[in-house]
Chain A
Amino acid sequence: MVERRPLLTFVAHAVLIIGAAIVAFPIYITFVASTHSFQDIMQVPMPLLPGEHFLENYKQVLIGGTTTGSRAAVDRMLLNSLIMALVVPIGKMSISILSAFAIVYFRFPLRNFFFWMIFVTLMLPVEVRIIPTFQVIAGLGMLNTFAGLTLPLIASATATFLFRQFFMTIPDELAEAARMDGAGPMRFFWDVAVPLSKTSMAALFVIQFIYGWNQYLWPLLITTDESMYTAVIGIKRMIVGGDAANEWNLIMATAMLAMLPPALVVLLMQKWFVKGLVETEK
């Protein structure tokens, strides 16, 4: 702080409190709505304090979904989301750390060509090439499978870049010492490069976990079977029509369940999360 200005500090707190209240408002309303019965929610205005149907609503969606919209059980969806949120980061990191290692620690023909091949994938998000990617997955018979859900999302270079960047900062002396002691490249990889990258991995994992969990367009296209829905898709399938036709209390309970795991990851791993964001810059 450069100087004491009590008035300005007061204004700062006021702005932050208003900002935080507006940001938190939809989440609070969601929680309140998920604890009421359908009749209570349909009142105008809806109640602003939590009700007594918390357990009932959550039990209902976990076991049997909604009654007017999709009846698919949400516990299965949460499992699917979790699988996706784990396979995407782990798959991405495994293939990326290997290729980054090859690009940084070896000189070989076509090295630059391969580097650029990976590099261009940064430019085109899945959203831009949905239909042909869908046809490729359909052609490979991967509709409604976890492979089809995750593989196209793994094909991206963000992690490769992060690991490349990190490997460049490992002092050359380490590689030199390893070589002098007779360690081969893979020995160096497992005993030096991988342990040193743990911080980057943690940061990347948090970002990619959220990315995998929150995927929408891709699962929407390739999961037609209820048992393959992810939680985010499940919410969308519960919305069937106008305001009064939707069981908002159940939809909001599902929304709470769908946002809790990524929110916990963000809040509990805040340090890694911020580091991951600033470093991957995407």
Chain B
Amino acid sequence: MEKRVVFRSAWLPYVLLAPQLAITVVFFFWPASQAVWYSFQLQDAFGLSSQFVGFENFRALFRDPHYLQSFKTTAVFSIAVSASGIVISLLLATMADRVVRGALAYKTVLIWPYAVAAAVAGVLWAFIFAPSIGIVTYLLKGFGIDWNWIIKGDQAMLLIIIASVWKQISYNFLFFLAGLQSIPKSLLEAAAIDGAGPARRFWTIVIPLLSPVTFFLLVVNIVYAFFETFGVVDATTQGGPAQATQILVYKVYHDGVKSADIGGSSAQSVILMIIVIALTAVQFRFIERKVQY
């Protein structure tokens, strides 16, 4: 897509671009290239000298069982967050699309969590599930469930999944609702006249027509689970107990900031960059296809 009518000036476009380019170079390209550079360096314990070690940092990472475990943790976490977030939001959006009365009230409550910071969401759920004073812990005890996410890894994982899904439901819900409302009513009516019930219409018309939105949300949710949930983890489990909830982005922070292992942390950053670029490429290919569709 190009404009037919353009203005002519030898210098003006560069002046207009200058502020954004300056900020992008200083705060994006410079640090990003530093990350790549550090990932090939080994620094001594005092950070005074460093030497070029090639792929040694990467090799060390893939030999480190903690790092491999963190990959597995991230995979479990992001699949759980994306899948349950999408299913719950689709259910709520389908129902909200059906009702007329009270629709605005439901929508208002359901989009509220979008405004809550990830770290705050973590604190809220940690309080509700707090081992000794939490209100839900108390209820669970009534059912004979011993809840203590501070010492039990699987419960800690469940806690950060719940907090992360809770925060992301609003986003998915709004996209599904917009998608549902753009489905032509004539299609559904034609199917109804042909005798298809609500369930049949949902599976054979609504679900296929929502597939572009669903796919888009899947990519967005995975990216969300990979990066934006840092606040949830740091405000609740901090990767524990025994690294049961140490997702990749938390490990980058932990190794780089807390343990000051610049080389190892940078190598992890580079691996994360490759993952995001791959995800983004998938997303853009899909968007191109959607345009033709």
Contact = CB atoms under 8 A, between A and B. Distances in A.
Interface of A: 1-3, 5, 8-9, 11-13, 15-16, 19-20, 23-27, 29-30, 33, 41-42, 44-46, 48, 94-96, 98-99, 101-108, 111, 114, 117-118, 121-125, 127-133, 135-136, 151-152, 154-155, 160, 168, 172, 175-176, 179, 184-186, 188, 210, 213-217, 220-221, 232, 235-236, 239, 242-244, 248, 251-252, 255, 258-259, 262-263, 265-267, 270, 273-274, 277-278, 281-282
B214 interface: no
B68 interface: no
B20 interface: yes
A270 B111 contact: yes
A249 B130 CA distance: 14
Given A1-B98, A2-B201, 10 more contacts: A19-B88, A95-B23, A124-B32, A128-B249, A188-B7, A216-B118, A266-B115, A270-B107, A277-B171, A281-B220
List of 9 A-B pairs having minimum Cβ-Cβ separation, nearest first: A132-B34, A214-B117, A102-B16, A132-B31, A262-B115, A216-B231, A185-B7, A106-B13, A102-B13
B65 interface: no
Contacts of A132: 30-32, 34-35, 38, 266, 269
B99 interface: yes
Interface string B1-40: 1011111111011101101110110111111101100100
Interface in B174-203: 174-175, 178, 185, 188-189, 192, 198, 201
B20 A96 contact: yes
Interface of B is mostly: helix
A41 B138 CA distance: 13
Nearest to B190: A2
B48 to A, nearest CB: 15
Nearest to A22: B166
Contacts of B223: 125
Nearest to A19: B92
A23 B123 contact: no
Contact of A29 (B117, B135, B249): B135
Given A132-B38, A172-B5, A175-B3, A154 B99 contact: no
B135 A23 contact: no
B110 interface: yes
B106 interface: yes
Contacts of A262: 115-117
Scoring A23, A108, A175, A265 by chain B CB atoms within 10 A of each residue's CB, the highest score goes to A23
B112 A23 contact: yes
B32 A168 contact: no
B100 interface: yes
Contacts of A11: 95
B24 A117 contact: yes
Contacts of A216: 117-119, 230-231, 234
A129 B269 contact: yes
Nearest to A185: B7
B67 interface: no
A1 B98 CA distance: 7
Contact of A129 (B32, B111, B112, B133): B32
A168 B99 contact: no
B61 interface: no
A235 B124 CA distance: 11
A236 B91 contact: no
Contacts of B125: 26
Contact of B119 (A155, A236, A266): A236
Nearest to B130: A243
A125 to B, nearest CB: 5
A20 B12 CA distance: 52
A106 B3 CA distance: 9
Nearest to A217: B230
B128 A26 contact: yes
Interface stretch (B50-58, B70-78, B153-161, B270-278): B270-278
B292 interface: no
A114 B91 contact: no
B131 A168 contact: no
A1 B12 CA distance: 54
A8 B5 CA distance: 55
Nearest to B88: A19
B108 A270 contact: yes
B49 interface: no
Given A124-B28, A129-B269, A232-B117, A13 B99 contact: yes
A130 to B, nearest CB: 6
B131 to A, nearest CB: 6
B19 A99 contact: yes
B119 A29 contact: no
Given A124-B273, A151-B27, A155-B27, A23 B174 contact: no
9 contacts: A24-B112, A118-B21, A131-B38, A132-B35, A136-B27, A185-B7, A259-B117, A270-B111, A274-B174
Contacts of A44: 132-133, 138
B283 to A, nearest CB: 9
Scoring B98, B174, B201, B277 by chain A CB atoms within 10 A of each residue's CB, the highest score goes to B98
Given A99-B17, A102-B16, A114-B17, A26 B124 contact: yes
Given A106-B13, A129-B269, A243 B166 contact: no
